[in-house]
Chains A and B, each alone.
Chain A
Amino acid sequence: ELKVEQNPLFLSMQEGKNYTIYCNYSTTSDRLYWYRQDPGKSLESLFVLLSNGAVKQEGRLMASLDTKARLSTLHITAAVHDLSATYFCAVDSNYQLIWGAGTKLIIKP
């Protein structure tokens, strides 16, 4: 059974700092997704990573996938308050996504 673990589950950081959220999964998959959820809102797709070594960047966020290590990272560069949200990773397995528990990110001015 595929399991997906995110860490940290909670992260409070200062604006301007860099940090990384990690997403580990337990069995083979080469498709991984990152989503953002603001309080009281729906989930918004951020990145789709479909192969080993895939790297995607959007603004201050960069996501990468290492299928051999079964690891994806979401790197935040020079964080700003607007990036405060909960971030989920999800791994494709047999026509469904297996979700991590989410990382609640709070960025303080």
Chain B
Amino acid sequence: DTAVSQTPKYLVTQMGNDKSIKCEQNLGHDTMYWYKQDSKKFLKIMFSYNNKELIINETVPNRFSPKSPDKAHLNLHINSLELGDSAVYFCASTHLNGEQFFGPGTRLTVL
């Protein structure tokens, strides 16, 4: 029973391509997040949705577009991929006490 799942786990693609990452949680949480973790392990929040509504939209290029079809799903679409987009992307959802539960991560490599 995976609590937060992401697909794909690995994504290798060429510069300029468009790609999507999917996230699903079965914890019944209302709030979900996307994070980017760079090579130095620093975690940067990108977006947060609460019950399908965008509540956090950090300074992220508008090539990144989140979509939440329902409160259990939060997908991330990236247009015109650049070398600097290479990173690990984590999805997370949050319990009422603020504790966040993370998905396994998607390692994106842009060539």
Contact = CB atoms under 8 A, between A and B. Distances in A.
Chains A and B belong together in one complex = yes
Interface of A: 31, 33, 37, 41-45, 48, 50, 86, 88, 90, 92, 95-97, 99, 101-102, 104
A34 to B, nearest CB: 10
A77 to B, nearest CB: 24
Interface in B19-33: 31, 33
Contacts of B92: 43
Given A95-B31, A95-B55, A96-B48, A42 B42 contact: no
B97 A48 contact: yes
Contacts of A50: 97
B100 A45 contact: yes
Interface string B46-64: 0010100001100000000
A41 B31 CA distance: 22
Interface of B: 31, 33, 40-43, 45, 48, 50, 55-56, 90, 92, 97-105
Interface of A is mostly: strand
Given A33-B98, A48-B99, A42 B48 contact: no
Contacts of A86: 41
B100 A33 contact: yes
Given A86-B41, A96-B48, A101-B42, A42 B105 contact: yes
Contacts of B31: 95
A50 B31 CA distance: 19
Contacts of B43: 43, 88, 99, 102
Contacts of A31: 97-98
Given A95-B56, A96-B56, A43 B102 contact: yes
8 contacts: A31-B98, A44-B102, A45-B101, A96-B45, A96-B48, A97-B45, A102-B43, A104-B41
